């Protein structure tokens, strides 16, 4: 069976509460892929079989794998991981740690940033005992998702200052996860209230982002058995985060879209929770450097880390003094002023993780697709280096420009170069004739009746048809006929 089959059967066994049968199936699945779904299922199975150390290992590894993958289900899996940690710490008698993890699960369900320094674990007194009480935990409903944030009454309550308490937040899709973690807090805080003042269960030994366990899932079990007694004396373990460079650069890269006009190239970088006031954006002739950037796949990245910086090597030259940027909670937008207006870029460029080593990266930048030529004389064009040859005696189009299919006997036309070089023409270089000149000559040489037909057909068809036959168009409306593959839409 494949790893996917083993994984499905293992998850199904956990759902059917056959935990002993689930673990070997999930072991085989996880030998091939560290799926957060399979890790969380195995953590639940180990928990039910009272293998708490193994369960905690899987829950913490699932958190890191979900954060690094940054898929659409990552937040859901991170919420589940924090909740599973809370349950396991409760089972281990670490009730203060259990409440912290439950609270972190709630904050993720509210849509809060995963890397946010919320100070939950800092609620301790001078003796290091956790200070959050049962009553405080029960009353902690301010950020509950779906409770008035998207209703008129909730908006009014927020404006008026909340006469009946906080207005809540809008729906996030994780309302049931929030309620489950909230309910579990009452279990943890209830048990905490019954402990003696000096009980170790009152101490905080947990960190929001757990130390990433080793990749090998089977190794912790033999290591924990002989060292079980010494492991009990580890309350002061240092707060460790994954080492920089633990996530490959390709996984750190952002989703980027762009579009261009004759003057500008607009590049959109889709990144969540970037703070505009903290961003440092530097423009050079062919690069843009941005930092600090939050990374969904590496939430532990901090300002100053290499991974917090992206260098965009652009697909053409820009004017840094006329380029600008803006930021919203979900994306950063760059409006880049082309150094040569009208020059068509083949792509926006490429992203590299880390600061720029040099501002002069012209040799590394993708070559732009040019719509202009620099031949000294249009009468004697210089051949353009290419892997193909042009069988026609007409001026060869640049290899950088696309040649579109055509039934013309003179070969394909490079429409991107039409009108760039010739000023009139003698019929031999009509690929380069000015489009406006062509239509002016056609209209000038037409009869009044033909001119009337041309005007009517061109206007009524939205520029998609041109007729010189007045008898054909005078009694009907000329319909819009868009090119093949293009859909005509009406603008209201």
> 119: which strand partners?
none
Which residue has better confidence, 378 or 126?
126
- Asked if the peptide bond before residue 461 counts as cis, ω within 30 degrees of 0, the response is no
Contacts with 445 (C-beta within 8 Å, 6 or more apart), sequence order: none
Per-residue pLDDT for 217 more than 50? no
213 and 125 in one domain?
Answer: yes
Predicted confidence (pLDDT) at residue 28 exceeds the cutoff of 50: yes
Q: Which of 303, 327, 353 is the last residue of a domain?
A: 353
Question: What mean pLDDT is predicted for residues 55-71?
Answer: 90
145 and 218 inside one domain = yes
The pLDDT of residue 70: 79
The number of folded domains in the chain is 2
Pairing relation of β-strands 287-291 and 324-327? unpaired
Cα separation, 473 vs 17, in Å, equals 76
Question: Do 327 and 206 belong to one domain?
Answer: no
Distance (Å, rounded) from C-alpha 162 to C-alpha 390?
75
- Per the listing, tokens 């009353």 go with 139
Asked, for residue 158, whether it belongs to a domain, the answer is yes
Q: Are residues 221 and 263 in the same domain?
A: no
Q: How far apart are the first and last CA of the chain?
A: 57
| Distance from chain centroid for Cα 55 | 31
Please indicate, yes or no, whether residues 98 and 208 belong to a single structural domain of this protein. Answer: yes
Judge whether residue 80 has pLDDT over 90: yes
| pLDDT greater than 80 at residue 362 | no
Residue 422 is assigned to a structural domain of this protein: no
Q: Do 261 and 210 share a structural domain? A: no
At residue 443 the predicted structure's pLDDT band, cuts being 50, 70 and 90, is confident
Residues 206 and 256 in one domain: no
111 and 19 in a single domain? The answer is yes
pLDDT computed for residue 391 by the predictor: 39
Mean pLDDT, to the nearest integer, of 62-69?
90
Q: What pLDDT, in 10s, does the model give residues 324-358? A: 999 888 889 999 999 999 889 988 999 998 887 65
Tokens coding 415: 């429409």
Residue bearing the bigger pLDDT, 418 or 469? 469
Q: Is the pLDDT of residue 375 over 60?
A: no
- Pair 262, 196 in one domain: no
Task: List the structure tokens of 74.
Answer: 């990552």
Q: Is 289 in contact with 281 (CB distance < 8 Å)?
A: yes
Q: Is residue 383 part of a domain?
A: no
Euclidean distance between CA atoms 21 and 37, whole angstroms: 17
Please report whether residue 97 resides in a domain. Answer: yes
Q: How many CB atoms lie within 10 A of CB 315?
A: 24
Residues 256, 221 share a domain: no
Grade residue 398 by pLDDT with cuts at 50, 70 and 90. very low
Span 85-99, pLDDT tens digits: 999 999 999 999 999
pLDDT tens digits, 108-125? 999 889 888 889 999 999
- Is residue 33, in this structure, part of any structural domain at all? yes
**More confident position, 209 or 166:** 209
Mean pLDDT of the chain: 77
pLDDT bin (cut points 50, 70, 90) of residue 491 is low
> 318, 353, 388 — which closes off a domain?
353
Residue 156's pLDDT band (cuts 50, 70, 90): very low
Q: Which of 329, 308, 302, 309 is nearest to 115 (CA)?
A: 302
pLDDT score, position 162? 44
Average pLDDT (363-372) is 38
Of 290, 272, 391, 396, give the one whose Cα is nearest residue 336: 290
Residue 107 is assigned to a structural domain of this protein: yes
Specify the pLDDT at position 265: 92
Say which residue the tokens 């030259």 belong to: 317
Whichever domain contains 133, its CATH number is: 1.25.40.10
Q: Using a cut of 0.95, tell me whether the model's pTM lies above it.
A: no
Q: What was the pLDDT predicted at 297?
A: 75
Q: How far apart are CA 489 and CA 492, in angstroms?
A: 10
Mean pLDDT of 5-20: 92
54: in domain: yes
Q: In the predicted model, is pLDDT for residue 221 greater than 70? A: no
Give the pLDDT score at 331: 87
Residues 219, 274 within the same domain: no
Domain that holds residue 125: 3-231
pLDDT in tens, 238-297: 555 565 666 788 888 888 988 899 899 999 988 888 888 889 999 999 999 999 888 877
Q: Whose structure tokens read 């048809």?
A: 465
Domain presence at residue 123: yes
CA 295, CA 351: separation in Å to the nearest integer?
A: 14
**Is residue 261 located within the same domain as residue 218?**
no
Handedness of CA 63, 67, 71, 75 (dihedral sign): positive
Of 333, 353, 373, the residue at which a domain comes to its end is: 353
- Strands in 324-327's sheet, in edge-to-edge order, are 255-260, 264-270, 331-337, 324-327
Pull the structure tokens for residue 395: 């001026």
Query: Residue 255 is part of a domain; what is its CATH number?
Result: 2.60.40.790
């Amino acid at each position: 069976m494949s790893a996917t089959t083993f994984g499905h059967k293992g998850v199904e066994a956990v759902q059917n509460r056959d935990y002993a049968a689930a673990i070997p199936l999930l072991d085989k699945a996880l030998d091939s892929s560290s799926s957060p779904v399979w890790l969380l299922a195995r953590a639940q199975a180990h928990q039910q079989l009272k293998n708490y150390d193994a369960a905690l290992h899987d829950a913490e590894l699932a958190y890191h794998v979900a954060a690094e993958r940054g898929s659409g289900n990552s937040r859901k899996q991170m919420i589940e991981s924090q909740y599973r940690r809370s349950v396991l710490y409760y089972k281990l008698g670490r009730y203060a740690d259990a409440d912290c993890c439950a609270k972190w699960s709630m904050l993720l369900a509210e849509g809060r940033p995963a890397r946010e320094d919320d100070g939950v674990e800092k609620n301790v007194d001078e003796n290091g005992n956790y200070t959050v009480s049962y009553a405080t935990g029960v009353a902690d409903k301010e950020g509950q998702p779906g409770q008035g944030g998207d209703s008129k009454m909730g908006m009014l309550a927020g404006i008026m200052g909340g006469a009946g308490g906080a207005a809540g937040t809008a729906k996030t899709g994780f309302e049931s996860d929030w309620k489950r973690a909230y309910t579990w807090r009452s279990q943890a805080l209830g048990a905490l209230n019954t402990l003696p003042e000096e009980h170790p269960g009152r101490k905080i030994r947990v960190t929001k982002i757990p130390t990433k366990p080793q990749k090998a899932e089977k190794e912790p079990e033999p290591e924990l058995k002989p060292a079980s007694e010494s492991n009990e004396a580890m309350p002061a373990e240092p707060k460790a985060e994954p080492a920089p460079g633990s996530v490959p650069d390709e996984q750190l890269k952002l989703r980027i879209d762009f579009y261009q006009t004759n003057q500008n190239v607009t590049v959109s970088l889709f990144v969540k929770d970037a703070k505009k006031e903290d961003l440092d954006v530097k423009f050079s002739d062919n690069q843009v450097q941005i930092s600090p950037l939050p990374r969904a796949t590496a939430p532990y990245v901090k300002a100053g880390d290499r991974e917090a910086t992206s260098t965009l090597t652009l697909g053409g030259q820009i004017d840094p003094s006329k380029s600008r940027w803006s930021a919203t909670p979900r994306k950063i937008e760059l409006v880049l002023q082309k150094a040569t207006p009208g020059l068509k870029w083949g792509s926006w460029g490429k992203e590299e993780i880390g600061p720029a080593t040099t501002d002069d990266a012209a040799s590394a930048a993708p070559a732009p697709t040019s719509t202009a030529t620099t031949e000294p004389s249009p009468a004697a064009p210089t051949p353009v280096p290419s892997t193909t040859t042009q069988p026609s005696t007409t001026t060869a189009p640049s290899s950088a420009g696309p040649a579109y299919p055509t039934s013309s006997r003179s070969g394909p036309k490079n429409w991107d170069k039409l009108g760039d070089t010739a000023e009139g023409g003698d019929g031999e270089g009509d690929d380069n004739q000015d489009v406006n000149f062509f239509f002016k000559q056609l209209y000038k040489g037409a009869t009044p009746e033909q001119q009337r037909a041309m005007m009517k057909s061109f206007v009524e068809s939205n520029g998609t048809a041109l007729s010189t036959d007045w008898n054909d168009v005078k009694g009907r409306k000329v319909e819009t006929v868009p090119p093949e593959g293009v859909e005509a839409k009406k603008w209201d």
